[in-house]
Structure 1
Amino acid sequence: MKIVRTCIYPKDIQCITGRSERYGRKLLNTMKLHFGKQKHQFITSEEFAEYSGIKLKIVNEYLRKVS
């Protein structure tokens, strides 16, 4: 069984949304503020799905493919 990553990086956001990697970094920082996280903490796939409105199943399928 293959382990699926649970944290989201700017490159993941770029590939999922079709936007730039810079947009991905900005969005991660915005989500950290939204969820009350500190700068060094990660955003999970569940939090990304909730914030972006993209179904968790789609996010996890992408992470499974690239992992």
Structure 2
Amino acid sequence: MNTKRACIYPKDIQRITGRSERYGRKLLNDIKNFLDKEPHQFITVDEFSEYSGIQIDIVNQYIID
């Protein structure tokens, strides 16, 4: 069974956007603040896709298993 991860990490954001990993960390924190999540909670691929406006299919192409 080939499943992909449910959460997204700064390295994934770096690969998708071409920006730095530090930018990815900042963006994840911005999304957590926007969604009123606690610092220990994860951001899902769907939440990232919705926030960034990037289609879920495109995001899934960059997710490393």
Q: CA RMSD in A?
A: 0.7
Task: Tell me whether 1:41 sits opposite 2:38 in the alignment.
Answer: no
Q: Distance in 1 between matches of 2:6 and 2:18?
A: 20
Q: How far has the Cα of 1:34 moved from its partner?
A: 0.4
User: What 5-or-longer segments of structure 1 have no aligned partner?
Assistant: none
Q: How far has the Cα of 1:46 moved from its partner?
A: 0.2
Which deviates more, 15-24 or 52-61? 52-61
Q: Distance in 2 between matches of 1:59 and 1:38?
A: 23
**TM-score of the pair, normalised by structure 2:** 0.95
Task: Tell me whether 1:31 sits opposite 2:31 in the alignment.
Answer: yes
Q: Distance in 1 between matches of 2:29 and 2:41?
A: 10
Runs of 4+ in 1 over 6 A off after TM superposition: none
**TM-score of the pair, normalised by structure 1:** 0.92
Q: Distance in 1 between matches of 2:9 and 2:26?
A: 11
Q: Percent identity?
A: 65
